[in-house]
Structure 1
């Protein structure tokens, strides 16, 4: 318990018990013919400290055995038993003293004892239920927060793995393609080595940065596509069309590269005669929209992307909240008409759409002003 909560706790203890006991004392004085009674005042003060002591002991017991972590059906009997015990102690302490100070009230025993139990029972019930309920709810809320943090850490770990690793099959194929170019086209081989080096460097740096500018991410995509074109040659066609206002928006590193890699692996490479990959960006209602279209059939999302597609949505939600969205779907002929492309395509098309909100109004203005300057 931190200092602020501890101060609040002791303030509530002192104020609550003082208010309860002193109200009863004032009521007794007003009803009594003798007026002010110092013995009754001393008893009231003693009851204040006794009530604080007993309820504080209950608090220590509650915390010592972690009752608030118990399920309700196990917590409830313990709370009820505690109320009964606390009420009985208050009654047993008060009755002998009250019998000497106020003998006129004990003419109707044993009903007076039952009245004491009920009276103190109501006071203890109010305190115990209030304190226990507050901490029970707080404990459950903290448990939910811990679960959320655990899930967040797991997602972040998965995202780091995804960001920091290139597909080893791609690296293997790229090296084989470069080896074939060494004698046929040394200049192209040197360029491909540089592009592969850029990809590996960006992959290693990806887990150190949560976001990068879109223009930097696009350079990674361009290097990746250039290496894949060495392998697929005329079977792969690509086109990138970016709105100048989107170049400085922050996006998760290696996210687009992963989606483009997924498009080639599950789309272009399996299509007879090859296919295309197209990347577009624009701003709509102050949000970044990125569209990745490629030849292919979506089929089962798990089989067509698995960990990569699932983590794309998770990373977006983790970084930008519920306003960020990721959708992947099979286009029909009407969709293709609505999205004119410079690339010729006669086969089925898969479309992935990413929506990223502006992290701040200032960032959105910066992206617009930077595009104007350029």
Structure 2
């Protein structure tokens, strides 16, 4: 049933019940009188009409949007006016129909206003309080929707980051390969095309499968390998159970790019990048290790790190974690920086069904 139908049902039922109770009291005391019945019916329609006019008035002037200290005086004044109108109609009629009931009343006008005032106050408070609460709830919903929209816009901006300097360097590297190794140049163009396509699609998708994101990382590393040659080594090791987990698009690529820019490229002999994934306590853990020294974040990819932390919070809430720290220096690999990402399970059953489907097809 719609709100409009519920409103009219409550109006008819409520006023009919109220007037009927009073009419029965008159009937039991004085017996049946057609004039009393007509007045009772008139009071039903008058009460419905007056309260409906009040409803139209508060809707037209948006009283429910007013703060309480401005709404309360208007409500009390409306109750007094409605009670006064009901009194002006009923008091003269009762003097004609049942004058015996007014003989012992010293202040009948005051008594009628108080009686009808209680009735109108109950109706007005019920209706106004309901819509006041509903309006505040709708306002809160609008705030939540607006906040969600803002967060979604921020997430779209953060998803579509691809360093233009990398594109410039990649094109220069490919240009050098055109005459030296045309086949390698063609492969590099394809890899760069894949990267650009994924970057353009990133603002349309909140998450992608880990295996798809890793392909982007592999394309990126292959292009950087052309530039750094033997100064860059990489190793990717993934747990098969994690391949279908959803991760933010271009997130790992951003971290790998940051690792090369502020780690491998600054090392005299170059360095390595290692990417691993596994499941721990039903959470996806991704670890990126690379040669480098973790210094001031503002000078060491601070935007990329803040980008990652913010995107994880926007998508997964406080259960997602991102941390980066300096490992103990080893004689074999030198100083190592480690970045860890933790993503909680979102739809684990979906990942398992996809994994089963792939294994079946194989």
TM over 0.5: yes
Q: Deviations over 1:67-118 (max 9, x none)?
A: 1222222222222221221122112221111121221222345533222222
Q: Is the 8 A contact 2:309 2:321 kept in 1?
A: no
Output the CA distance in 2 between the equivalents of 1:5 and 1:272: 74
Once the two structures are superposed, the pairs formed by residues 181-220 of structure 1 within 5 Å of their partners are 181-220=177-216
CA distance in structure 2 between the aligned counterparts of 1:136 and 1:268, rounded to whole angstroms: 61
Query: What is the CA distance between 1:49 and its match in structure 2?
Result: 1.3
In structure 2, stretches of 5+ residues that fail to align are none
Gaps of 5+ in 1: 338-342
Q: In the alignment, is residue 172 of structure 1 matched against residue 168 of structure 2?
A: yes
Mapping of 1:298-309 within 5 angstroms? 299-300=296-297, 303-305=302-304, 308-309=307-308
- Does 187-196 or 297-306 show the bigger shift? 297-306
Deviations 1:134-190 (A, max 9, x none): 212222222222222222222323333333442212111211222233344443332
State the match for 1:364 in structure 2: 352
Whole-Å separation in 1 of the counterparts to 2:76 and 2:304: 55
Aligned-partner SS, 1:292: strand
- Aligned counterparts of 2:105 and 2:242: Cα–Cα separation in 1: 86
**Superposition deviation, residue 197 in structure 1:** 1.0
Whole-angstrom distance in 2 between the partners of 1:277 and 1:154: 35
Deviations 1:306-325 (CA, angstroms, capped at 9, x unpaired) = 662254124423xxxx4751
- TM-score if structure 1 supplies the norm length? 0.83
- Within 5 Å, give how 1:102-141 maps onto structure 2: 102-141=98-137
Equivalent-residue separation in structure 2 for 1:182 and 1:307 (angstroms): 37
Alignment partner, residue 10 of structure 1: 8
RMSD over equivalenced CA pairs, Å: 3.0
TM-score by length of 2: 0.86
Q: Which residue of 2 aligns with 1:297?
A: 294
Contact between 1:280 and 1:291, CA under 8 Å: does it hold in 2? yes
- Pair 1:332–1:372, CA change in 2 (3 A): farther
Residues 10-89 of structure 1: matches in 2 within 5 Å? 10-30=8-28, 32=29, 34-89=30-85
Query: Counterparts of 1:136-285 in structure 2 under 5 Å?
Result: 136-269=132-265, 274-285=270-281
2-structure distance, mates of 1:38, 1:285: 80
Most deviating of 34-43 and 87-96:
34-43
User: Aligned in 2, Cα 1:243/1:63: closer, same or farther, shift over 3 Å?
Assistant: same
What is the total number of aligned residue pairs between the two structures? 359
Deviation, structure 1 residue 299: 4.7
User: What is the distance in 2 between the residues matched to 1:254 and 1:232?
Assistant: 22
When structure 1 is superposed on structure 2, of 204-213 and 141-150 the one drifting more is 204-213
SS in 2 for 1:248: coil
SS at match of 2:341: strand
> Is the deviation greater in 141-150 or in 228-237?
228-237
Match of 1:312 in 2: 311
User: CA offset at residue 56 of structure 1?
Assistant: 1.0
List per-residue Cα deviations over 1:290-334 (Å, max 9, x = no partner): 3334444275589343662254124423xxxx475132242565x
Q: Measure the CA separation in 2 of the matches of 1:70 and 1:85.
A: 20
Q: Partners in 2 of 1:85 and 1:344 — Cα distance?
A: 90
User: Are residue 353 (structure 1) and residue 341 (structure 2) matched?
Assistant: yes
| Counterpart for residue 340 of structure 1 | none
